[in-house]
Amino acid sequence: MPEYQRPLTVAEYEQNFAQIKPDMSATMAYNESARCLFCYDAPCQQACPTGIDIALFIKQIHTDNLQGSARTIYNSNYFANICGKVCPTEVLCEGACVHNHSQNKPIEIGRLQSYASQHAISENIALYAVPKEKNKGKVAVIGAGPAGIAAACELSKAGVEVHIFESKSSPSGLALYGVAPYKITNQEILEEVAYLQAQFGFSIHYNQPISSKEQLAKLEADFDGIFLGIGLGATNPVLANTQNWANVWGATEFIEQLKTDFQKVVIGKNVVIVGGGNTAMDAASETARMGAASVKLVYRKSKEEMSAYEFEYDLAKQVGVQGIFGLAPAQLLGDNSLKGVSFTNEKGETVEIGCDMVVLATGQQKQTQFLSQIDGLTLNKQGKIVVNEQFQTTNPRYFAGGDAVNGGAEVVNACAEAKKAAQAMIKTLFS
């Protein structure tokens, strides 16, 4: 098992969480772009949820037209640099690249995308002529995650005045508080959002949770339409009384603490991660990189049935995480302090695994209580907001996109859905 020491300084933390897709130099970008075949009807573009014209932006990099390249990307996806780094490119654009058929390495589309978009961000290039006077109408956005910000960009570009209400003190939602630190740094995420905000001119009101019917009524009175980009809620509690134990975490809560202040996080020596999705893989890799001596990832079904991408499981294994399958969690063990977890196997037998830290990566709850306060809004059986093809909810003044609608997908899906919703809002509310 590769040894990671507990990082004590920022430099040690950055070393343990070194970027898995480091930035390309100009020479690397030139050489990599030269390998692209600029395919007709490119499969990489078809595999991208935001439909970026990938062949075009790669050609523009190759001909040293970085501004044009960045514009091509931003035309389809406002989280251009962020998605270049955090998208599961292995199963999207790069997974579809024709080079895979000839046993060649696929084009590193994600890194090229970040290379071009970072140019626009660092040079603060205004790619769009955004109306300074926003006189087309007013929209309130609830939630400054990828969905809320993408909707705000699209609406502002069309001259709509946008105010985002965000319960936390920073923008970007789970892109900032959830995505693994070895994929992108917090600083880069905040820089891209600041770039977008300066260019499009929308307002974000931080520490402003919208939670009551009165607040919703005020938004309805003050704005022409409302976009819901609220994402999901806290981790599903699968074991009883978890809140009474020290060192028993929900995965999203643990990762948020890690990404907010890694020095405060207490990491056990022997860690058990419960779950088989991508968040479980992240939590496993992260506790290993924070210096845990042993990390066991325990999933109730078989390895093949895990919903996590294979490359995410590989990443966890590379840092020494051990997968254990066919064990369903039953209860926490210990008196005053955590001693382990008992599981039930397929034969109904009890199996105990000793540990001094547990992370439950058992999915996130839906925000049904908050959503039930919106008149006429329909949720499906799983608690997802019901929308039509235009991402309009069953209350015609509310539109929605991202995790609250799709139940939890990727940053790129939230951006794609929110852009469509914003376009529909412009059409139905303001024309």
Ligand X SMILES: Cc1cc2nc3c(=O)[nH]c(=O)nc-3n(C[C@H](O)[C@H](O)[C@H](O)COP(=O)(O)OP(=O)(O)OC[C@H]3O[C@@H](n4cnc5c(N)ncnc54)[C@H](O)[C@@H]3O)c2cc1C
Q: Candidates 17-25, 75-83, 92-100, 289-297: pick the segment binding ligand SF4 (CB under 6 A).
A: 92-100
Q: What angle do CA 125, 127, 128 make, to 5 degrees?
A: 135
**How many whole angstroms separate alpha carbon 332 and alpha carbon 359?**
12
315 binds, among ligand X, ligand SF4, none (CB under 5 to 8 A by kind): none
Q: Which stretch binds ligand X (CB under 6 A): 19-27, 92-100, 151-159, 396-404?
A: 396-404
Residue 379 sits in the site that holds ligand X (CB under 6 A):
no
Q: Tell me the pairing of strands 350-354 and 338-345.
A: antiparallel
Q: How far is the CB of 397 from ligand X (least distance, A)?
A: 17
366-392 b/e with 16+ CB inside 10 Å = b? bbeebbeebeebebeeebbbebeeebb
Q: Which of 7, 229, 250, 277 binds ligand X (CB under 6 A)?
A: 229
DSSP 293: S
Distances in whole angstroms, Cα of residue 275 to Cα of each of 34, 279, 307: 41, 8, 9
Per-residue CA distances from 125 to 130, 141, 158 (Å): 13, 26, 19
- The nearest distance, CB 65 to ligand SF4, in angstroms, is 17
The yes or no reply on residue 68 touching ligand SF4 (CB under 6 A) is no
**Residue 409 makes contact with ligand X by CB under 6 A:** yes
- Give the DSSP H/E element, type plus range, for residue 20: none
Question: Which residues on adjacent β-strands are paired with residue 295?
Answer: 271
- Contact between 411 and ligand X by CB under 6 A: the answer reads yes
CA distances from 308 to 277, 290, 324, 404 (A): 4, 21, 14, 20
What does the alpha-carbon distance between residue 171 and residue 193 come to, in Å, rounded to a whole number?
A: 7
Closer to ligand SF4 by CB, 55 or 284: give it.
Answer: 55
383: left (phi over 0), alpha (psi -120 to 50) or beta: left
| Residue closer to ligand X (CB basis): 37 or 217 | 217
Kind plus residue range of the DSSP H or E element containing 163: strand 161-165
**Residue 42 contacts ligand SF4 per CB under 6 A:** yes
Helix ranges, 63-160 (H): 66-76, 80-86, 93-96, 109-122, 146-157
Residue 144 binds which one of ligand SF4, ligand X, none, with CB within 5 to 8 A depending on kind? ligand X
CB of 282 to ligand X, least distance (A): 5
| Strand partners of residue 203 | 163
Residues 137-166 that bind ligand X (CB under 6 A): 142-148, 165-166
Is the CB of 66 or the CB of 200 nearer to ligand X?
A: 200
Rounded Cα gap, residues 298 and 284, in angstroms: 10
Does position 37 bind ligand SF4 by CB under 6 A? yes
Q: Which is nearer to ligand X, 7 or 231 (CB)?
A: 231
* Residue-by-residue DSSP string for 177-216: HTS-TTT--HHHHHHHHHHHHHHH--EEETT----SHHHH
Our finding on whether 173 is near ligand X (CB under 6 A) is: yes
* Closest distance to ligand X from the beta carbon of 50 (Å): 12
In the complex with ligand SF4, which residue's Cβ is closer, 93 or 179? 93
* Closest distance to ligand SF4 from the beta carbon of 180 (Å): 25
Pick from 61, 73, 83, 97 the residue near ligand SF4 by CB under 6 A.
97
Residue 54 binds which of ligand X, ligand SF4, none (CB < 5-8 A, kind-dependent): ligand SF4
Candidate residues 98, 127, 238, 328; the one interacting with ligand SF4 per rule CB under 6 A = 98
* Residue 104 binds to ligand SF4 (criterion: CB under 6 A): no
Q: Does 61 bind ligand SF4 (CB under 6 A)?
A: no
109-128 binders of ligand SF4 (CB under 6 A): 109
Distance CA 117, CA 70 (A): 5
**Closest C-alpha among 114, 132, 110, 112 to residue 122:** 114
Which window, 41-49, 138-146, 277-285, 391-399, contacts ligand SF4 (CB under 6 A)? 41-49
At 227, phi and psi to the nearest 5?
-105, 130
Residues that bind ligand SF4 (CB under 6 A): 36-39, 42-44, 54-55, 58, 97-99, 107, 109
Residues that bind ligand X (CB under 6 A): 86-87, 142-148, 165-168, 173-175, 178-180, 183, 209-211, 229-231, 252, 255, 279, 282, 370, 402-404, 409-412, 414
